[in-house]
Amino acid sequence: MNIQIIDTKPFADQKPGTSGLRKKVPVFKQEHYLQNFVQSIFDSIGAPPGSALTVGGDGRYFNRQAIQIILKMAAANRFSRILVGKDGILSTPAASCVIRKHGTFGGIILSASHNPAGPSGDFGIKYNTSNGGPAPEKVTDAIFAKTKSISQYKWIEVPDVNLGKVGEQTLDDMIVQVIDPVSDYAALMESIFDFDAIRRLFFSGFKMKFDAMHAVTGPYAVEILQKRLGASAGTVMNAVPLEDFGGGHPDPNLTYAHDLVEIAYGKDGPDFAAASDGDGDRNMILGKGFFVNPSDSLAVLAANATLVPAYKKGLAGIARSMPTSAAADRVAQSLGLACFETPTGWKFFGNLMDAGKVTLCGEESFGTGSNHVREKDGLWAVLFWLNILAVKHQSVETVMREHWNKFGRNFYSRHDYEGIPSEAASGLMKHVTESFAELTGKKFGKHEIRFCDDFSYTDPVDASVSSGQGIRIIFVDGSRIIFRLSGTGTEGATLRLYLEAYEPDPARHNLDAQEALSDFITIASQISGLRERTGRERPTVIT
Ligand code: VG1
Ligand code: CO
């Protein structure tokens, strides 16, 4: 093997965010940029020579070129075997599944999730550890530290691997095993859910639409929903993954998945509709003219978990990210389960799942998952809902309404202010933080603030502390206003305002969420100077 040592200089902007390093494609295409980050990963993870690695991505523009670079660097860094999805494709949950099933030392996932793709779009890279989950902060901190001092990386000059052919090839001394990206994942789903019951549901005439948004889930959804479960042809729309996601924004929410929303709310709409994001880890659940809030979805899955074969013995516990509504907490309480509140980002769930403390995890940002892998999992959530509907023989709306009747409703909404100037965003956060003392105990009409803080989390397993995770303003009745800056954007800053109010009275469950939350929307604006500081009249996206 002819290993070359290439001289390089550090880039100042390689700090991983909520979900790895995300930048515009032209940034990644700079000479040595990707190479520096990959070498920093290899230098930080301590993989013994001869280790195996999983590599794959969401298929977006630059995915294949990046994989060829990573393969050559992996060979130069003495990895012995790489499992890579055919055509470079692996959804994020499928990559997690492959790492775990085949016991690779870790994995590199190429994705910028739901961010738009293409030559001027976004690209991303992250490292997952041997449990299949996103690297914890101590690893991402080490990678970042390395990027700041890197002076060389290892390379071998060999022809590209043929990613289009399943089977083993060699790249110098290293084996590259190109795998079918779907089969391990589909088998795992079949081992979790009651496929017979779901098959009978489809056979009975139940209609579904799944929008793959021209992103990675198309092949997975076609195989599982249409081929294995017998949903009719055409159930999966926009099923072919495209390098630019068809020019779309594969973020499964009411704004960006509007084509599907129109179908779900239209005359003769299907019984059930769902969508996933660019890399397949998010999910949106819709009934006939009915939207399920992701925080509520986690609560429904928890309350009905024993209907699913893999969870029939019950759950170990539930975890949710801090901004996610407390709907799941109410279920945990009624089932006598432990419930954990973590910072935003899936990496914080890994320790809890590895330690057997939780089975289900969820985030308000359309992310739900369980200990079957160590990533959130879009299709898994869709199959979970299908399994519930198949057993209960109820509509999505009825399942949700019965849930609210039993547990009360946590009205919830997230307002995103995307692409605002970074100084305006940090100024707003600073201003609210400096007002904590003055706000505590203050009354706004009938709403009294109980306390405010900047959320800090101590991991119950390894005692690591993560601070600065978002401002919480908590009212006496448990209602909450949360301000947080996004860690995944690539342009300016994105301010997220999260709003939650609990309503026990079923007579009021029909209110529109924005209406039910209007007092808190006003209070949030008042205490933060939102309009003046951002110059925005309204949010970019309301969920
Ligand atoms: C967002 C979401 C967060 C999610 C993260 C990655 O982060 O709020 O809940 O874990 O995206 O999701 P932020 O920092 O922008 O709020 V994905 O689907 O990009 O892997
Ligand atoms: Co994603």
Residues 206 and 161 reside in one and the same domain: no
Ligand 1 centre and the CA of 425: distance in Å? 18
Evaluate: CB of 486 within 6 angstroms of ligand 1: yes
Evaluate: CB of 344 within 6 angstroms of ligand 1: yes
pLDDT at 348: 93
- Which entry of 44, 51, 113, 528 is annotated as an active-site residue? 113
Among 391, 407, 423, where does a domain finish? 407
Query: How many domains is the chain partitioned into structurally?
Result: 3
Alpha-carbon radius of gyration of the chain: 23
Residue 37 to residue 146: CA distance in whole angstroms = 9
Residues 369 and 256 reside in one and the same domain: yes
Residues near 516 by Cβ (< 8 Å), separated by ≥ 6? Answer: 411, 501, 503, 508
To which residue do tokens 């910072």 refer?
Answer: 343
Q: Which ligand is nearest to the CA of 323?
A: 1
To which residue do tokens 């899955």 refer?
Answer: 301
Residues 209 and 77 reside in one and the same domain: no
Burial label, 328 (beta-carbon count in 10 A; 0-12, 13-18, 19+): buried
Ligand 2 centre and the CA of 508: distance in Å? 34
Task: Tell me the CA distances in angstroms from 75 to 34, 49, 52, one per residue in order.
Answer: 16, 10, 10
Mutate which of 18, 92, 373 for ligand 1 pocket (most atoms within 8 A of beta carbon):
18
Residues 157 and 295 reside in one and the same domain: no
Residue 403 to residue 192: CA distance in whole angstroms = 23
Pinpoint the alpha helices (H) of 107-226: 137-147, 183-192, 195-203, 217-221
Residue 400 to residue 287: CA distance in whole angstroms = 10
Evaluate: CB of 113 within 6 angstroms of ligand 1: yes
Evaluate: CB of 349 within 6 angstroms of ligand 1: no
Q: Where does the pLDDT of residue 58 fall: very low under 50, low under 70, confident under 90, or very high at 90 and above?
A: very high
> Is the Cβ–Cβ distance between 256 and 365 less than 8 Å?
no
Residues 82 and 136 reside in one and the same domain: yes
Q: Which ligand 1 atom sits closest to the C-alpha of 115?
A: 19
pLDDT tens digits, one per residue of 202-233? 999 999 999 999 999 999 999 999 999 999 99
Mean pLDDT for the stretch of residues 48-65: 96
Residues 384 and 417 reside in one and the same domain: no
Query: What stretch of H or E contains 12?
Result: none
Closest C-alpha to 20, from 213, 281, 318: 281
- 74-78, 244-248, 299-303: segment of lowest average pLDDT: 244-248
Residues 141 and 198 reside in one and the same domain: no
Over 80: is that where the pLDDT of 461 sits?
yes
The CATH number that applies at residue 110 is 3.40.120.10
- Report percent pLDDT > 90 for the chain: 92
pLDDT tens digits, one per residue of 339-388? 999 999 998 999 999 999 999 999 999 999 999 999 999 999 999 999 99
Residue 350 to residue 342: CA distance in whole angstroms = 11
Ligand 1 centre and the CA of 111: distance in Å? 12
Mean pLDDT for the stretch of residues 281-303: 97
The SS3 assignment for 274 reads strand
pLDDT at 364: 97
pLDDT at 2: 86
Residue 537 to residue 541: CA distance in whole angstroms = 12
pLDDT tens digits, one per residue of 392-435? 999 999 999 999 999 999 999 999 999 999 999 999 999 999 99
Q: Which ligand 1 atom sits closest to the C-alpha of 22?
A: 19
The neighbourhood of ligand 2, an ion, using CB within 5 A, equals 113, 277, 279, 281-282
pLDDT tens digits, one per residue of 518-531? 999 999 999 999 99
Residues 99 and 214 reside in one and the same domain: no
pLDDT tens digits, one per residue of 466-499? 999 999 999 998 899 999 999 877 778 999 999 9
Residues 386 and 427 reside in one and the same domain: no
Residues 371 and 224 reside in one and the same domain: yes
113 assigned to active site? yes
Residue 482 to residue 324: CA distance in whole angstroms = 10
Q: Where does the pLDDT of residue 247 fall: very low under 50, low under 70, confident under 90, or very high at 90 and above?
A: confident
Q: Which ligand 1 atom sits closest to the C-alpha of 366?
A: 9
pLDDT at 491: 77
Evaluate: CB of 320 within 6 angstroms of ligand 1: no
Residues 31 and 169 reside in one and the same domain: yes
* Tokens read off for 434: 């400096």
Domain that holds residue 133: 4-180
Provide the CB-side half-sphere exposure for 30 (13 A, CA): 13
Closest C-alpha to 73, from 153, 9, 175: 153
